Amino acid sequence: MAKQTQQGAAVLQGTLDMLILRTLLYGPAHGHQIGKHIQRTTNDFLQMQHGSLYPALHRLERRGWVVSKWETAPDRNREFKYYRLTEKGRKQLLVEESQWKQMAEAVARVMWPAAEES
């Protein structure tokens, strides 16, 4: 069953993983920050669903691409669960980035063949 959901949203999910990893390149962040960052950066084009954000974070953690730690936020006097990119995560980001590029180029070639020729 879990498999089914993953397959159904494979493309989106893969993208989300990449976006999260890219966001964490700036430094450790907690879930709320990550979500807000992606939303803000895309000018709210990508509405962050918490229902997919947290599962994605936990999945990345389980795969060892990020690690988490409860830390006090500098501006708030409270602990948040901070996610930090691991070395493995960094490599994964490169892989996903290049895959995404290839994908985007491939889609572009199909969609706008004239532009390609010119």
Q: Measure the CA–CA gap between 107 and 115, rounded to whole angstroms.
A: 13
Q: What are phi and psi of 4, to 5 degrees?
A: -55, -45
Residue 4 contacts other proteins per CB under 8 A: yes
Q: Which residue has the tokens 């949203």?
A: 9
Which alpha helices (H) appear in the chain, and where do they start and end? 2-8, 10-24, 31-41, 50-63, 87-111, 113-117
CB nearer to other proteins: pick between 30 and 90: 30
User: Taking CB under 8 A as the rule, does residue 5 contact other proteins?
Assistant: yes
> Which of 15/52 has CB closer to other proteins?
52
Residues 38-97 that bind other proteins (CB under 8 A): 49-52, 54-56, 58-59, 62, 76, 78-81
Asked whether position 111 contacts other proteins by CB under 8 A, the answer is: no
Which residues of the chain form contacts with other proteins (CB under 8 A)? 1-2, 4-5, 30-32, 49-52, 54-56, 58-59, 62, 76, 78-81
